[in-house]
Structure 1
């Protein structure tokens, strides 16, 4: 066998689909959007296919600028990736030497540990608790000279636990290693909770987001990282030049142009009782 010894010991992540038909049932434990995406997103992709061009390599055009505009950061601080999973993998691969340690508060998204194990890292697992929430003190106590990465999922998946912004800042002010803050459910948070605006202050900060959850397009596999320009430039050297498919670019570009549907969906999910048609949440209110 030519496979690395630690890789041979791993088990692949298996989505819990046995005995379930995703075409017949909504998989709520996958946090799939409960309603379809708007017709204008689907029509944009259909139009692209009808116009020909599937035989050509992707052309990304203004996608990086459009995502940066939504995230309220500079375009050079954005790296779009093949789902936030690829973003997680890139951070682990580029920041963590073999045998170094990663702190991953648990329970959380399984892909953090899979990426860490594939690089032969030692995983430290402080625990979220119902009573105490995010284990800030335990995280900081675990940091040592071998720590290469701290992963913070905010809000955490699957517990839904919010990590206070001041706790994330305290971690960033304390550690010297890379810090990955996963904000895949950012749209469900108070917009002031995000830390994307801190990447200039903390060059060790990486923020991951996705278009899978509130945007409702997990099948397109598109996410993005926000970090400093030097970090983005370095990760771009590892990401493939054509890892993002053209239909994903078309669909996400259309969604970003009429993004209000996302905030309407968030309001329906978050507000109790029948939908109040007289209420309006503007893009500016929901953005940073």
Structure 2
């Protein structure tokens, strides 16, 4: 059979591996930071009715500019945002890809602070944008001084600050965002995929006025429990949105996606009702694991990064054998665990307690 090595790939794609978190039909799946709480019945009913209505018109192309959805997103974010400041695509990954298609590319660079979201370098490779990773400090927290020094040294064209950061959960302070924006003249993206889970910090959308190079990326996958729908979005200056319209594929958001997302936004209060419970489960899990002797890093997200495993790979497999799927990200001594329902938290606590200090060993 033909393999990748037999194909005339672009040079910067040779040797790369596609993104791929394990998928397994286990009873407790806590490895990709999904919202494991089910959608409320009234929301399901409205979405189903909206989809039924949309299906009647799918012989025609969808609204290319998805005006109703953009208005709904602007209303959800608030802070005086207008529909022309909103953009959406099939997940925030596609939003980020479109940004790099417009502002990255050959001869340009993307910088972020690692460990962070593993798709960033893959998106850079896919758009032929040079990738620059700057290591985070031991506590993973960024400071204005660290960020300013890195941007002065590397002079990137695009920067992504992930806050709360995936996979560490580390919150992102607005002083860091402001320092980064003032430190260079390129595009600054704040990736807020998990922002709804941070009860202490305001969204970076409050910083948009007067900052035309600041872009705030969001998603409905996490807090809205909409991972299967694939709806990511962006708030930025209208000129940025116009730039993304240059590179998007025609009719990139289906009529069904638009209908489902618009219906969900009508019920934002109900959709977000589970967020407080997820925070409680996150904090409960963190407290118990800390009591068991593990190191739990501060998290403003719906997951925790846990250190102190003597053999993370062996613990990952031992938990998987017990029907629990978490994430091994090859960070020495660490595993990442999504905060789920109370029953899922019970299962994780019981399994890790059973494995004993340091977790399983090979």
Unaligned residue ranges in structure 1 (runs of 5+) = 275-288
In structure 2, the partner of 1:248 is: 257
Matching residue within 189, 193, 204 for 2:213: 204
Query: Does 1:36 pair with 2:35?
Result: no
- 2:62 corresponds in structure 1 to 58
Moved more, 208-217 or 25-34: 25-34
Aligned to 1:110: 118
Change in 2 beyond 3 A, CA 1:178/1:49 = closer
TM-score normalised by the chain length of structure 1: 0.85
Note the C-alpha offset of 1:6. Answer: 1.9
Structure 1 partner of 2:12 = 6
Deviations 1:226-252 (A, max 9, x none): 111111011012112321122222222
Counterpart secondary structure, 1:108: coil
Question: Which residue does the alignment assign to 1:71?
Answer: 77
What does residue 231 of structure 1 align with? Answer: 240
Deviation per CA, 1:127-167, whole angstroms, max 9, x where unpaired? 23343612543332222575111110010011000111111
C-alpha separation between the residues in 2 aligned to 1:270 and 1:249? 29
Greater alpha carbon shift after TM alignment, 70-79 vs 189-198: 189-198
- In the TM superposition, what are the counterparts of 1:88-99 in structure 2 within 5 Å? 88-99=96-107
Kept after mapping to 1: 8 A contact 2:215/2:236: yes
Asked whether the 8 Å contact 1:97–1:148 carries over to 2, the reply is no
Q: Which residue of 1 aligns with 2:340?
A: none
The 5 Å alignment of 1:1-288 reads 3-17=9-23, 20-21=24-25, 24-51=26-53, 52-53=55-56, 54-59=58-63, 60-72=66-78, 73-131=81-139, 133-134=141-142, 136-144=144-152, 146-190=155-199, 192-271=201-280
Q: TM-score, normalised by structure 2?
A: 0.69
Query: Cα distance 1:229–1:50, how it changes in 2: closer, same or farther (>3 A)?
Result: closer
Mapped contact 1:26–1:34 kept (Cα < 8 A): no
Greater Cα shift, 241-250 or 102-111: 241-250
Quick check: 1:164–1:193 contact (8 Å CA) kept in 2?
A: no
CA distance in 2, matches of 1:170, 1:234: 25
Q: Pick closer, same or farther for the CA change 1:48–1:195 going to 2, 3 Å.
A: closer
Q: Which moved more, 1:100-109 or 1:220-229?
A: 100-109
1: CA distance, partners of 2:201 / 2:171: 13
Where 1:157 maps in the other structure, the secondary structure is: coil
Whole-Å Cα distance in 2 between the matches of residues 61 and 148 of structure 1? 30
Per-residue deviation, residues 169-199 of structure 1 (Å, max 9, x unmatched) = 1111121111110001111124753111322
Decide which moves more: 250-259 or 53-62.
53-62
Distance 2:51 2:134 in 1: 48
| 1:105 alignment partner, SS class | strand
Question: Structure 2: 5+ residue runs without aligned partners?
Answer: 1-6, 285-362
Q: What SS is found at the alignment partner of 1:37?
A: coil
Aligned length: 270
Q: CA deviation at 1:9?
A: 4.0
Cα 1:87–1:50 shift into 2, 3 Å: closer
Query: Which moves more between the two structures, 210-219 or 189-198?
Result: 189-198
Cα deviation, 1:53-78, whole Å, max 9, x if unaligned, reads: 24443233511101011112111110
